[in-house]
Structures are given as structure tokens and as C-alpha cells.
Amino acid sequence: MERAGESSVRELAEREMAVSGSALEDAVLAERAKAGDRAAFEQLYRGHAGRAYALCLRLAGNAHDAEDLLQEAFVRAWQKLHTFRGDSAFGTWFHRLSVNVVIGALRAKLRMRPADYVECPGRAASASPGLRLDLEAAIAQLPDGARIVFVLHDVEGYRHPEIAALLGIAVGTSKVQLHRARHALRKELGS
Amino acid sequence: MTCQEVLECLDDYVDGQLPEDDARELREHVESCCTCREEEAAARVLASHVAGLPKSVPPARELWPGIAVRLDALEAPRRAWKFRVNGLALLTAAATLAVIAAGAYSFLEGGAARRDGPAPGIVLSSTPAACLGSDAGLEQAQAEQLAALRDCEKALAPQTIRIVRENLDILDAASRTLCSAIEEDPANPHLMLRWMALQQRKIGMLAAVVRLSGAG
């Protein structure tokens, strides 16, 4: 069930991105990159690596895999640039591509987990001070299924039907995973 | 509404997706239940903290050089092989280029006799079975790549050849380790991803050698 008349967080972010000046600059860079201009593609990397890395880091749960996935996403983007037609902002297009790359890599791992495998994360011994870092560490320690659904839904603004389609799971499973993730995080952050 | 029912509905309630009748029941329960009130407050606090997470997190190290190497690797074989490098084809390409790398190693070692046998620095049999594929054009592509390397042999300094050989040894050692790991855990996508990246780095280096010689 979606809220009638309201846009998701992701849609709002996409609209904001589409009307920004940087989107126009990106469109020009993307056109140059499509023609084989590597320098233009590097500029796109500079502009979007941080956003994509945040996504990869939170979905993968560790920096090592996140770095591999980020590189894979940009390599895949270079290969698929010919499919970018400018209907949406480059950032939107690339973000979706990144999600698909990460989910594709993690899907097999996710399916190997029992559906009800969720445990409360332990507090990271080396967690840095500050609530944000505690929250990041707690997210990273969630079981894969719960973490991925939580990041996609609560951080990235995806809806359950979209998540279910991406992950190849039932909508109900997505909701259960989100519920468990939130419960575990509340418990962790409240302890 | 019971405490258990409140807990089950709390996510939808906080998200504003609970039907109004249920939401009213939940509110009534929460007003009279300290435990559920705390749960609701914690849910809202979590939501606000999540909303405050940064949208952008810079990688801890510079990753563009690694991407550039992989793009180099994609460009050279794409021109020569004339087939799409993605999905299973990418795995096939990576596996084939390990073979090419073996040929290149042998080539850089010098001597026709050594070229005929397996290269000592590259263990082809360690290529994961899951990475192997077949393509009618690959044998031809391998021959073309080796021919290109032979053409540039005299343009390379001995120092360059030595460095290339050392790097191939390093890449191969890593490849063997990854192959062993993949055989133990064939369903692990991360291992396969890294193996693919490793093969692409190898391809990139060979392509760079050809370019360096002026033949590419």
C-alpha cells in the first residue's frame, strides 16, 4: 500500500537531480563519454563515486566488497552508456545500474541464507563515537537479507514491490525483513 | 489491539501506511501502554537518524586507476574479438585471456620451444570450471593476440619484459588463490567478481605492453 498523492523519497531525489545544473553538465559529459571520451567519463566518476560508494558500502556491508562493486558498476556503466538516452538524469540512470550490479552480485549470497536468518547485531568493538557511525556500523552488521531490504527501503526510498522484484522475493518477505532489520537496529541503538 | 499486534503494525504506522481505523486503535493502545510508547518513539528516532545519513561517502582510496585499467582491458579485446563482453561472454573472455596471457608469458620468455609448452608462471588448469566457456572465434582471437605480441617483441626493452613477467607472476599467483577459493565456494559471487577483475587487469597489462611497443 502506497501513500496516495505522495512521492517516495527516491522520486523526490530524482526530480531534484533532474532539474539541477549538474544534471545538464552530466548529460554533456555522458554524451562525450558515449563517443569514447575517457576524460569525460572520469569526470562523471568524480561526480558520482561518493553517492554510488555509499550505496555499495551499505548494501555490501564492508568496504572491500564495496570498492569492488563500485568499480564493477562504473565498468558496467561504460559498457552500457549507449543505452543512456537522457530520459532521466545520468545520476538516476547510474544509480539504478549500480543497484542492479550490487544486487546481482549479492543475490546468490542472499538466497543461500535461510529466510528467517536474522539475529540482533552486536555492537562493533571498534565503533567510532557518534550516533551516525554507530548506526552505520549497526546497519553493516545486519544479516544480508535484512540489511539489503533496509538500505533499499529506508535509505534509498525503494518500495516493497520494487525490492521484491529486484531481489526475487515475495513482497511479504521484504516487509518481514524490513521489520526485523528495524527491530534489530532499534534494539542495538537503544542499548 | 495487543502489544504484539502493535509491534507488527508499527512499521506501517510510522511510515504512514496503516489504514486509519488500525492507526486509531494503535494510537489508543500506545497512549495507555508504556512499552509500546517507547517502541514507537524508538521507531521514530531511528527513522530520523536514517534520514540524516549522508547520501555520499567518498571511498577511502582512489579507485579510478583500477577502473581505467579495466576499461583499457575492455577496449583492446573488443576491437579484436568482435563479440560483446558481458555476462557469460565476459567470463569466457576472461578465461580465454588467461590462455592468451600464458602465451604472452611464454612469448616474453623467448624461444619457440618454450612457446609450444605450458608457461611455467601461469597454471591454466587452475581456471575455475565455472569460468570456462566456448566460442568459435576465441581460438582465432588468441592467435591474433599472440601475433600482435610477436610483432612488438623487438620494440620492448629487456627491463620491460622482466617487469611484465614479474607482474604476470603476481597476477597468476592471485588467480590461483582465487581459483582455489572458487572451487571451495563456487556460489560465492564476490570471488567470481574478483577473479573477473583480475583477468581484466591481466588483459589490460598485455594491451598496455602492445601499446607501449607502438604496435597497438
Mutate to test the interface with B, among A182, A189, A191 (most CBs of B within 10 A): A182
Q: Do the domain assignments include residue B93? A: yes
CA-based nearest distance B179→chain A, Å: 17
- The answer to whether B62 faces chain A, any CB pair under 8 Å, is no
B residues 14-33 closer than 8 Å to A (CB): 16-17, 19
Q: Do the domain assignments include residue A122? A: no
Same domain membership, residue A93 and residue A69: yes
More confident residue, B182 or B96: B182
Q: Do the domain assignments include residue A120? A: no
Whether the predicted pLDDT of B134 surpasses 60: no
What tens digit of pLDDT does each residue of A30-77 get? 999 999 999 999 999 999 999 999 999 999 999 999 999 999 999 999
What does the pLDDT read at residue A116? 38
Same domain membership, residue A139 and residue A86: no
Spatial distance between the Cα atoms of A8 and A159, rounded to a whole number of angstroms: 8
What does the pLDDT read at residue A127? 35
Q: Given an 8 Å threshold on Cβ–Cβ distance, is A68 in contact with B188?
A: no
What does the pLDDT read at residue A19? 45
More confident residue, B201 or B6: B6
Q: Which residue of A has its CA nearest to B190?
A: A105
Q: Do the domain assignments include residue A148? A: yes
Same domain membership, residue B146 and residue B93: yes
Q: Do the domain assignments include residue A31? A: yes
More confident residue, B172 or B6: B6
What does the pLDDT read at residue A45? 96
Same domain membership, residue B72 and residue B163: yes
What tens digit of pLDDT does each residue of A109-118 get? 665 554 433 3
Q: Do the domain assignments include residue B22? A: yes
Q: Given an 8 Å threshold on Cβ–Cβ distance, is A132 in contact with B68?
A: no
| Contact in structure between A55 and A98 (CB atoms under 8 Å) | yes
Same domain membership, residue B124 and residue B29: no
CATH number at residue A178: 1.10.10.10
Same domain membership, residue A89 and residue A36: yes
Same domain membership, residue B84 and residue B121: yes
C-alpha cell at B106: 611464454
Give the residue-averaged pLDDT of B169-198. Answer: 75
- Given A50, A81, A112, the domain boundary residue is A112
What does the pLDDT read at residue A98? 96
Mutate to test the interface with A, among B39, B56, B62, B203 (most CBs of A within 10 A): B56
Q: Do the domain assignments include residue B56? A: no
Quote the number of domains for chain A. Answer: 2
Q: Which residue of B has its CA nearest to A112?
A: B187
CB atoms within 10 A of CB A134: 18
What tens digit of pLDDT does each residue of B17-71 get? 899 999 999 999 999 999 999 889 999 999 999 999 999 999 999 999 999 988 8
Domain limits at B178?
64-213
Quote the number of domains for chain B. Answer: 2
- The answer to whether B136 faces chain A, any CB pair under 8 Å, is no
What tens digit of pLDDT does each residue of A5-21 get? 445 556 655 555 544 55
Domain limits at A188?
128-191
What tens digit of pLDDT does each residue of B137-157 get? 334 444 565 566 667 767 777
Q: Given an 8 Å threshold on Cβ–Cβ distance, is B11 in contact with A178?
A: yes
Q: Closest CB to B71: pick one of A72, A75, A178.
A: A75
- The answer to whether B37 faces chain A, any CB pair under 8 Å, is no
Q: Given an 8 Å threshold on Cβ–Cβ distance, is B11 in contact with A57?
A: no
Integer angstrom CA distances of residue B28 from A11, B75, B120: 33, 65, 76
- The answer to whether B61 faces chain A, any CB pair under 8 Å, is yes
Given the cut 0.95, state whether the ipTM is greater than it: no
What tens digit of pLDDT does each residue of B162-182 get? 776 777 778 777 877 877 888
Same domain membership, residue B28 and residue B89: no
What tens digit of pLDDT does each residue of A145-164 get? 999 999 999 999 999 999 99
Same domain membership, residue B102 and residue B46: no
Whether the predicted pLDDT of A103 surpasses 80: yes
